[in-house]
Amino acid sequence: MAAGPAVTWQGGTEHWTRKGDVKLFLWNKKAAPGTAHAGTLLFVHGSSMASQPTFDLSVPGRPDSSAMDWFAARGYDTWTMDNEGYGRSDKSRPQNNDISNGADDLEAGSRHIMAKTGAKKLMVYGISSGALKAALFAQRNPDSVSRLALDAFVWTGEGSPTLDERKKRLAQFQSMHRRPIDRAFVHSIFARDHPGTADDATIEAFADAILTLDDSMPTGTYVDMCSKLPLIDPAKLKAATLVMRGEYDGIAAFDDLIEFFKRLPNADKQFAVMAGISHASFQQKNYRTVYHILHAFFSQPEAVYRA
């Protein structure tokens, strides 16, 4: 494996919780001192990287690369966690850690967060398979989520060129619990849809951070996204919901998302297309657009009148 410099994360607090015998890692960055409390925010990672590389990335010369820091500066108590099989969480069980298992992790993590903070509900952001995990968690636990943001989400998978290509390797993914990753794989995330949407320094820093923690990833989310969709019933999502799609994202097919969006029952819903962005939105050149859209959604005042 082509590894890079070891990456460390600072300024936060590590936490641990359990899902039965499984030990799960959580990372917390508190709201900046002197800021008004804006909410408790949980970030959910995708299929091919753990939580801290995705949401607490540091890139020299790139201000606000850490989404956790950016939101903490605006009053949010920010949390993220490694799903089972990723990063610092347990990797001992012989299973592929699918999306349902990831939603179970979020339930265990949310209980820990609520116990530590006193929050009654969480704001939740998930990206790619993390959006599926976040949506399934919200579907199963409607009283635990106030606002739900789904980035690079896929519903049925229809019209997704990335998933069409991935399905050609479905039998391979089904035959193993984990798949190897390396620096070239991380580069492919940014090359497959529309090269140029992310700068080289950010891609390399992202690769360094990912490879510091993992040299393989569970196959479960790939198997689910290639063979078991849809996993989410939009009619059962009660929280206010934001659906976010990068302009060039090869997973989140536009028409598929529109059909999903139409079926969301809560009128407090938004659909955002992010110009110049492909799949890994927080690592794109236009990452500030992502922050702006998310912050506007999470900070939106509650409606005074609802029929």
Q: Which CATH class is domain 13-298?
A: alpha beta
CA angle centred on 267, ends 149 and 241, rounded to 5°? 5
Element (H, E) at 281: none
Going by the DSSP 8-state scheme, the letter that residue 283 receives in this structure is G
What type of residue is 117?
T
Torsion of CA 225, 229, 234, 237, to 10 degrees: -60
Q: Give, in order, the Cα–Cα distances in Å from 13 to each of 51, 58, 77, 262.
A: 14, 16, 12, 39
Q: Which residue's structure tokens are 């794989």?
A: 185
CA angle centred on 281, ends 285 and 288, rounded to 5°? 55
pLDDT in tens, the chain (307 residues): 445 578 999 999 999 999 999 999 999 999 999 999 999 999 999 999 999 999 999 999 999 999 999 999 999 999 999 999 999 999 999 999 999 999 999 999 999 999 999 999 999 999 999 999 999 999 999 999 999 999 999 999 999 999 999 999 999 999 999 999 999 999 999 999 999 999 999 999 999 999 999 999 999 999 999 999 999 999 999 999 999 999 999 999 999 999 999 999 999 999 999 999 999 999 999 999 999 999 999 999 999 998 8
Q: Residue 34 and residue 284: Cα distance in Å, rounded? A: 30
What b/e string do you get for 201-218 counting C-beta neighbours within 10 Å, with b at 16 or more? Answer: ebbbbbbbbbbbbbeebb
Q: Residue 78 and residue 145: Cα distance in Å, rounded? A: 15
Question: Which residue, among 269, 272, 268, has the nearest Cα to 292 in the 3D structure?
Answer: 272
Query: Alpha-carbon torsion 267, 272, 278, 279, what sign?
Result: negative
The beta strand positions in the chain, using DSSP E, are: 13-19, 22-29, 39-44, 76-81, 122-127, 145-151, 178-180, 216-218, 240-246, 269-274
